[in-house]
Chains A and B, each alone.
Chain A
């Protein structure tokens, strides 16, 4: 029989016992819906977790340092590369080169220094820091631009400024309480500026060796810089609820400046003592550079590329890898539970079709008497099973999607009540839609195997005798 005829006959047979076949189809739909619901929940949770991890900024950042910095990480690896003295200097051209590596979103210098007026650590932030969750609970706003004379304070520093440092054991002060008296106020920051000095006479006293690698002696012309104490007025725009000991943002910093502003201040950096000959120039030398990578999975590639340039790198191990493993197991279990309902539904198909054979015994006999082959009868029953499966699959995906949306909606109402930001943790990717329908179809065909075979083997003489 040709396919259009087959489909037509199958559908008309399904219509003949509409109620029973509809119920069977609904059974499949419920099975598929539970499968889709379970798997999309798993996938959604995985995406949520990955999103959160990426947002933390912990796993997509590579810290680059120079091998010349003998106090730094990676002592062991260093042996393989060139001697520290001959390795590259981490300066502006190096930064630009790193920034142009594939998969790199941005590379920015880590500027950290200690301010004196209120003794604390100051760190510079690129504007991309705004999108990490480090600043999630922030009061006020982020910097209006990268050069604005604005400052964001860490909560504990704000407490110090207000003299409200909580006694151990008492409740934490809310960020909002600290923000009210501080936002918009002016803060004066005192810092040490490195200024290129104009040498009056050659061969001065400032040539006393400071190069830790000890190679610069005699090879360079005499250079000098001076250190000037300066003050900078800053407007407080935000109070961040960020733990200064966490690795998010500049370590231990409690006062945050916009990156470009910090660069323009030419604050004296620890490297300026090591690379004296360069520090006297206009181009800055960096102690470390933070490299933001597009995707946590690409961190290793970027690290390799940077190491090839002759720098040391450091990153936190890609946690998303173990996360994916965890979710693969979770998805498997959710899938198995979801499939249980589909398995029950497939027994429903077997039952319906076996019933149909009993009911249509005579009809099968007639069809055989007028020339239907075993194959015709078999494929007809197959087609009926397949049609119920495909129909149930489509219905089930729609149902599963609706259930997902409803749960998502309900959970977000709950999150809102708990004063938490809404989350989208329900995801039905297109491959799941297609996969679920195909799966339902295949399960139905397999369920139809036995009934179809039985119908095909039916003895026409017996079948026609049966009234």
Chain B
């Protein structure tokens, strides 16, 4: 497929590479091919959008890259490690240190304050208590939520919740940010706010970003590359040609 774009498959500057990735489910007697032979590459520092209608398999691909799910066949190689071969324990360490995830529904733990939510990954990483509080404070400061640190998610707006989720995703300094419809539950104004933050992370901190969305416009506005999926198959992998939108949005920011 066109995914490799001429780069040799052996080694590349890519941070993510999938090879003939398949994820099949069995539902009763029918076999559902959620991901069916997807091969793609994401270079380090790249901002890639996975596009497709619902059921196209884009979220499944993201879950496989996130190490939340295991492929039925094929491989997911992230930073030289094949996730399909990692043990459950290694996979959880991978999720803890290498990946940060944000979701459409924010997925903050409702019984915890923002501060505790942001601190939680550091508890799993066994960061010292004192250091943890400082880091959580700083992270929330960067997304402008220090004042609401002691509030529970239910007391916040959607945009604020997603900012907190972003702060949590980044707290263990991952190299990879995976976003599953991050603006899906937000109005366009707060959505833009979140996307600007994501782009900032991508540009300033050179984080690799993979975003799943069904909104082509959003993808064209922020991503450098668009990968289209349908019925679990990769149908197109192209550089974002609407560079104008990018410059425009960049203009908005600065």
A residues within 8 Å of B by Cβ? 1-2, 4-5, 9, 12-13, 16, 362-363, 365-376, 459-461, 464, 467
Contacts and interface: CB of A to CB of B under 8 A. Distances in A.
A1 B68 contact: no
Nearest to B60: A461
A4 B108 CA distance: 22
Contact of A461 (B69, B112, B125): B69
A370 B101 contact: yes
A12 B112 CA distance: 9
A461 B92 contact: no
Interface string B78-103: 00000000001100110111000101
A376 B103 contact: no
A243 B124 CA distance: 78
Contacts of A467: 105
A15 to B, nearest CB: 9
B121 interface: yes
Nearest to B66: A369
B197 interface: no
Given A369-B101, A372-B92, A373-B93, A464 B107 contact: yes
A366 B111 contact: no
B96 A371 contact: yes
A459 B168 CA distance: 21
Contacts of B68: 368-369, 460-461, 464
B24 interface: no
Nearest to B180: A464
A374 B124 CA distance: 11
B124 A372 contact: yes
B126 interface: yes
A369 B125 contact: no
B88 A374 contact: yes
A378 to B, nearest CB: 11
A1 B92 CA distance: 13
B123 interface: yes
24 contacts: A1-B123, A1-B124, A9-B123, A12-B111, A13-B111, A366-B108, A367-B120, A367-B124, A370-B120, A370-B121, A371-B97, A371-B172, A372-B92, A373-B92, A373-B93, A373-B124, A374-B92, A460-B68, A461-B63, A461-B68, A461-B69, A464-B68, A464-B103, A464-B107
B178 to A, nearest CB: 10
Contacts of A374: 88-89, 92
Contacts of B123: 1-2, 5, 9
Interface of B: 63, 66, 68-69, 88-89, 92-93, 95-97, 101, 103, 105, 107-112, 120-121, 123-126, 129, 168-169, 172
Given A5-B123, A9-B123, A460-B68, A371 B107 contact: no
Contacts, number: 74
A71 B240 CA distance: 123
Given A1-B123, A369-B68, A461-B68, A16 B111 contact: yes
A368 B92 contact: yes
B21 to A, nearest CB: 15
Contact of B168 (A12, A13, A370): A370
A366 B121 CA distance: 10
Contacts of B97: 371
A228 to B, nearest CB: 95
A161 B15 CA distance: 115
B107 A366 contact: yes
Highest count of chain A CB atoms <10 Å: which of B66, B95, B125: B95
Contacts of B121: 370-371
B253 to A, nearest CB: 28
B232 to A, nearest CB: 15
Highest count of chain B CB atoms <10 Å: which of A12, A16, A370: A370
Nearest to B110: A363
Contact of B124 (A376, A459, A461): A376
Contacts of A365: 107
Highest count of chain B CB atoms <10 Å: which of A5, A362, A363, A369: A369
Contacts of B69: 459-461
Contact of A371 (B63, B92, B103): B92
A2 B128 CA distance: 10
Contacts of B88: 373-374
Nearest to B92: A373
B51 to A, nearest CB: 20
B89 A371 contact: no
A389 B158 CA distance: 39
A442 to B, nearest CB: 26
Contacts of A5: 123
B96 A363 contact: no
Highest count of chain B CB atoms <10 Å: which of A9, A374, A461: A461
B33 to A, nearest CB: 16
Nearest to A374: B88
A241 to B, nearest CB: 72
A376 B121 CA distance: 11
B95 A369 contact: yes
B218 to A, nearest CB: 22
A371 B93 contact: yes
A376 B91 CA distance: 13
B7 to A, nearest CB: 30
Given A369-B68, A460-B68, A467-B105, 7 more contacts: A365-B107, A370-B124, A371-B95, A371-B125, A373-B93, A374-B92, A459-B69
A16 B96 CA distance: 25
Nearest to A6: B123
Highest count of chain B CB atoms <10 Å: which of A12, A373, A374, A376: A373
Contacts of B89: 373-375
A9 B119 CA distance: 12
A137 to B, nearest CB: 68
Contacts of A461: 63, 68-69
Given A461-B63, A461-B69, A371 B124 contact: yes
Contacts of B103: 369, 464
Contacts of B101: 369-370
A370 B96 contact: yes
Contacts of B93: 371, 373
A459 B91 CA distance: 13
A8 to B, nearest CB: 9
B111 to A, nearest CB: 5
Contacts of B168: 370
Contacts of A371: 92-93, 95-97, 121, 124-125, 172
